Amino acid sequence: MKLKPNNAADAKENSTKNMTRRQFMGAIGHTASGMAVAGGLVMVYKFLYPNVLLEIPSRFKIASINSLQPGSHVFEPEHRVFAFHDTRGYFFALSAVCTHLGCTVAWKSEGITGHKEGIFLCPCHGSEFTKEGDVIRGPARRHLDRYHMAVDEGQLIVDTSETVNTIEDMILKV
Amino acid sequence: MQSKPWRSVFRTALPIKTNLDRSLVMFNSLALHIQPVKVRERAIRFSYTFYLGMISFFLFMVLVVTGILLMLYYQPAIPNAYENMKDLQYVVSSGIFLRNLHRWAAHLMVISVFLHMLRVFFAGAYRPPREFNWVIGVLLLLLTLLLSYTGYLLPYDQLAYWAVTVGSNIVKYVPIIGKNIRFVLLGGNTIGEYTLVRFYVLHCVVLPLFITSLIALHFWRIRKDGGLY
Ligand code: HEM
Ligand code: FES
């Protein structure tokens, strides 16, 4: 692969023009191998990325409107979602997945000082959230995921793939 | 006993008289040539290395043997995995002993590898020409931790599930590609069938192959860098 020029400046000037046959074949060979390796890596990455997931559908019925009494809530463990019927007359749904590192938060109806209406407590590293999902205490830094429920033939429907940002958007008045 | 076939097992002819003969015994044997012909006296003193590297290697051997035996009763599937673990504990003869041996050896190996690293650090044995062996050592510690982490999911109990949930969510914080790494690692958005198989293959095939190759390189470098510091 080594070019043996008479002097270095000459070599620099001629290196593109006067490529030896060996250099040319070498360049083709290395390019081809490089492309094959890159293609292989892309294929392996795609192979590792499953196209069909064995996961539960994101849209599901969490409760029927009539069975969820004011002041009560339900928890759906498969999707890890809470649905509340607030005593002020509206419904809302929150994800139970802690925004710190993903453990399932527990509902503590007795609440704590300043949050008598109840709080969510994460068993893993102690994050606390208000009833509407805002952070009271870290390590979590983001509010719990909020969902706007749909009503279909008297059933409350949650779609975990669609979150909303504000408490107002989350609230469902029926 | 002095038959020709028997003597042909050992490639050095008897009697052994000179120092050259003694060194040939080492050179000529696959098992012995891993040892140097000469060592510094302090290198074989217990108080110098506390034998921590060898203890780590021994624990790894225990893990390979017990791990292969556990594999005979373990299926990486839901709900089989958890049931297999319970069967190992309550049904299979010596199952609980092997499982505990595997688990304790895994914990001890993490500790001994770490202490070994401390020993090397305080002896200053990472200095030239041994810098590269220190780098290999860092990779070995990493692989040991990854083996423990992937093994932790396999019993598929509550502890396993939540530890890996938390661990894989940490991966999400890697800038830009974090979410993709997690998805590929888990084979989905949450831990499930695919995750269990992926961790199983990593734990029983991929990582042991890597760590075995690196251990070989580590030992070879000790010799080539002139024995223990
Ligand atoms: C440095 C090496 C290794 C470490 C640190 C390690 C660590 C672990 C840990 C922490 C567990 C969980 C144990 C439990 O919950 O009972 C485990 C399980 C398991 N390991 Fe390993 N392991 C190692 C090597 C191996 C090897 C080489 C194999 C197979 C060739 C293997 C096969 C298994 C199997 C089948 C299980 C599931 C059974 C069980 O959970 O007890 N391991 N390992
Ligand atoms: S996962 Fe909830 S506080 Fe860490």
Cβ B144 under 6 angstroms from ligand 1: yes
Sign of CA dihedral B42, B138, B103, A125: positive
Does any CB of chain A come closer than 8 Å to the CB of residue B19?
no
Per-residue pLDDT reduced to its tens digit, B152-194: 999 999 999 999 999 999 999 999 999 999 999 999 988 999 9
Annotated domain spans of chain B: 50-224
For chain B positions 182-211, those within 8 Å of chain A (CB to CB) are 183-184, 187-190, 192-194
Lowest mean pLDDT among A17-21, B137-141, B190-194: A17-21
Ligand 1 pocket: which of B63, B66, B85, B202 to mutate (most atoms within 8 A of CB): B63
Cα distances (angstroms) measured from residue A92 to each of A162, A170, B167: 14, 6, 30
Tell me the percentage of chain B whose pLDDT exceeds 90: 74
Residue A11 has pLDDT above 80, yes or no: no
Per-residue model confidence (pLDDT) at position B89: 94
Name the residue facing B188 among A53, A101, A103 (closest C-beta).
A53
Distance A166 CA to ligand 2 centre (A): 22
Residue A87 is which amino acid?
A: T
Cis previous bond, B79, omega within 30: yes
Measured at the CA of B217, the angle between CA B215 and CA B218, to 5 degrees, comes to 60
Give contacts of A54 with chain B, Cβ < 8 Å: 188, 192-194
For residue B212, what is the DSSP state? H
- pTM for the complete prediction? 0.80
User: Which fold, B50-224?
Assistant: Cytochrome Bc1 Complex; Chain C (1.20.810)
